[in-house]
Structure 1
């Protein structure tokens, strides 16, 4: 499979630091290099700077969706799918979500496909964790969507 971001342009990039720890570097891509919430394809690439268990990724995803007001009835089936997809992360690993033009969500781990979610509402909801105006890390969001260029 070709690199999913090779046809896309970088919108922005950001580093997440929590307290004293560097957690990850992230980069958002779109077709035009500009952020438009409803315009796909979009890709979010995360390069981890520390080890994180898959179980912790799942829990943080649930926590963020609840904070954004996404109903548990909506995301419970997604969590089941993510449990099958998400690997344990080691420092230096890369996880990439590519939301295609038809809003299929493809996950890549260190450049290899690890799973696809065909629910067209999933990709946008997953990206909201980083890109929603009410996300947990607004400075990271602003850098990702290109507001701090």
Structure 2
């Protein structure tokens, strides 16, 4: 019940006063995910951090990109964002929160929001502690998703992909500390 309340508070309030932590909890002992070999073979780990919301640990995040990645132009680069969940969430709640965060950067029409929400609900499953979801940004094409190394599906919409990965990488992210930790090894 506490998890549901946390998710509802996050989704309803839009407030995410979390402290992103850089350092070992997001990187130590974590091998290169096997799905990177096919999805982003030249990808290297740029950085990682932990998302905390109201003191609750939500997930560890790691960002992988090819040499030459520039955060100020992230939408033009192939990249992979890995989230290792530290608690359980329903896929629908993850989809709703994602759309809320995507709307923070620019308006999204109701029709487009409905399309993106349905696409997210199709590819994002419920997660439990220890599950790992990886999203791969394919510039000009869209995004592909894996869970624990197994394919979940694709959303073939370049604007969706730009806005989705902008949740973490756009300058107006609700989590600038996490953004900084993720791109610590990248150019500006």
Fold equivalence (TM over 0.5) = yes
More helix by share: 2
The structure that has the greater radius of gyration is 2
Aligned CA distance change for structure 1 residues 70 and 28 (closer, same or farther; 3 Å): farther
The count of aligned residue pairs is 148
Pairwise mapping of residues 101-116 of structure 1 onto structure 2 (< 5 A)? 102-116=140-154
> 2:121: which partner in 1?
83
With structure 1 as the length reference, what TM-score do the two structures score? Answer: 0.88
Matched, 1:8 2:67: no
CA displacement at 1:143 relative to structure 2: 0.8
Deviations 1:27-50 (A, max 9, x none): 111111643313321110100001
3-state DSSP of counterpart to 1:27: strand
With structure 2 as the length reference, what TM-score do the two structures score? Answer: 0.71
Gapped runs of 5+ residues in structure 2? 1-33
Aligned CA distance change for structure 1 residues 33 and 19 (closer, same or farther; 3 Å): farther
Q: Is the 1:108–1:115 Cα contact (8 Å) retained in structure 2?
A: yes
> 1:54: which partner in 2?
91
Q: Is the 2:96–2:117 Cα contact (8 Å) retained in structure 1?
A: no
Matched, 1:97 2:97: no
Aligned CA distance change for structure 1 residues 48 and 85 (closer, same or farther; 3 Å): same
Deviations 1:94-140 (A, max 9, x none): 01111135533110011010111111222111001111111111100
